[in-house]
Every structure is written in C-alpha cells, then in structure tokens.
Amino acid sequence: MFNTECKVNFFDADPAGIIFYASLFKFSHAAYEDILKSLKTERDYFFDSELVLPIVHAEADYLKPIKAGDILDVNVHVSRLLKSSFELTYTFELPDRSIAAIAKTVHVAVSKNSFTKAYLPEDLYSGLSKHSAG
C-alpha cells in the first residue's frame, strides 16, 4: 500500500463547505501521480513518447462529510493488476482514522501512436505489484 495526504482547501468545497464531488477525483489523481513517481521506473509515464495510461473508468463512494480544512490520509493500493491494465483503490481517512470516501480508477496501457491496447512495461508492472492488495 502507498500512503500520501492531501488538504481540502476552501476552493475544493461547495458553498456549504463540504467537498465538491469532483475534488475527490483531483485528490485521487494526485495520489496516482505520487505512487507512479515513487516507483522510480526507467520511463516517465506521464511524458512517455510511446505509451499512455488513460483512465477508462472511475467511481467513488462518499461515506462521511469531508470539509474544507480537513487533512486526509490517502491510502492507495493496486486492487487489480493485469497484463495491459490496472485498478487503483484510494481510501480517504479523516484524522480520527474513519473512512470518509473510497475511489477507484482503472488505467489501460495504450500505444501513443496507434491508440491500441499495449502491455504494461515490466518495470511498471513490477512496481505496481509491490502495492497490490493481495
């Protein structure tokens, strides 16, 4: 599992001071960037000339109010790892350790030139497998 944190700023909230639903995906993507950087792969997959890793599915469950000013612990694990795709699960914990939200994103390796499905490179697959739930 990979851990990071985020702060809910006022601009991440709706007029009632509760997180705007899309802000959770912004925090999820920031955690995704952090976990990829932590893998220290040979390639920078955000600026790779041959491969892209688009999100093809995203979902979230909001379990408790998340308010402006909250500091959230974000725990990320690879919940599914296949030859060409992977799923990340993000658990957002409040300071009292209660779970406020859970999000998931599914990423597919795609050739940048032909936009067809490709295999995950070995360094990426191996790095992600270290954060697998099972």
Positions marked active-site: 14
> How many angstroms separate the CA atoms of 31 and 91, rounded?
11
Strands 51-52 and 110-111: antiparallel
Burial group, residue 124, by CB count within 10 angstroms (0-12, 13-18, 19+)? buried
